[in-house]
Amino acid sequence: MFLGPPGAGKGTQARELAQQWGVPQIATGDMLREAVAAGTPLGRDARSYMDRGALVPDDVILALIAERLAKPDAKGGFVLDGFPRTIPQAEGLDRLLRDLGHELTRVIFFDVSEAELLRRLTGRRSCPNCQATYHVVSAPPRREGVCDRCGTALVQRADDSEATVRNRLQVYAQQTAPLLEHYRARGILTRVPAEGSIEQVREAVRDAAGAGR
């Protein structure tokens, strides 16, 4: 399981490690969007909440995870990306994994300072036309403010403004502190410094996870 605040780089590392191990990366945000787009029963249920701006209940998300873990490619393991975020979610996940005969073997926390997260998140720019994403410092477009792919003017998403990012990080920190203790008490939590290069973080993650399984 990969835990960490928005902008910590969990998704990049989760995809690479899952590919190396030949197991699925399970990211609840992606699963929700796919289920809604496919119009599955759980997707329709989730959409009823999302359309009115409400949080999707834990039981719906856990049902999506259960459905995904029942597929053949998850029998040999999986990398869970960004879930759970609260103690009730963690407890629900514990029960689900126990019922399915899975065991959570390692929880890796991506530790990044608030200053670095603000730099990463507020510097993001996206193309409203083709959805390409950039960063003003680490991945800028060839022409400032213009999408390389389609030439559309880039925008900063509302949820990437500094005030919004600070609030998101504060909420995450409040939720995550007890969650980290939950897994630390079980002896399966490892903290990984996640402010270096992608290659440095990759090496630290593999050391923490046991690259050879």
What secondary structure does DSSP assign to 7-60, as a single string? Answer: TS-HHHHHHHHHHHHT--EEEHHHHHHHHHHHT-HHHHHHHHHHTTTPPPPHHH
**What are 191's strand-pairing partners?**
109
Mean pLDDT taken over the chain: 89
Q: Which of 130-134, 136-140, 150-154 has the highest mean pLDDT?
A: 150-154
Per-residue confidence band for 37, with pLDDT thresholds at 50, 70 and 90: confident
DSSP class of residue 139 equals B
Q: Is the confidence at residue 40, as pLDDT, over 60?
A: yes
Residue with the larger pLDDT of the pair 213 and 23: 23
Q: Which fold has domain 2-24+71-112+170-209?
A: Rossmann fold (3.40.50)
Q: Is the confidence at residue 209, as pLDDT, over 90?
A: no
pLDDT digits (tens, 9 = 90+) for 57-104: 899 889 989 989 989 999 889 999 988 988 999 999 999 999 988 889
Residues 6+ apart with CB under 8 A from 210: 106
**Which residue's entry shows tokens 């963690």?**
90
Q: Indicate which residues carry an active-site annotation.
A: 10, 85, 124, 157, 168
pLDDT at 24: 93
Residue with the larger pLDDT of the pair 175 and 108: 108
- Spell out the domain ranges in the chain: 2-24+71-112+170-209
Give the separation between CA 11 and CA 183, rounded to whole angstroms. Answer: 20
Cut 0.75: pTM above it: yes
pLDDT at 168: 85
Q: What is the mean pLDDT of residues 157-181?
A: 87
What are φ and ψ of residue 146, in 5° steps?
-130, 135
Residues 6+ apart with CB under 8 A from 91: none
Q: Are 153 and 145 in contact (CB under 8 A)?
A: yes
Q: Is the confidence at residue 212, as pLDDT, over 60?
A: no
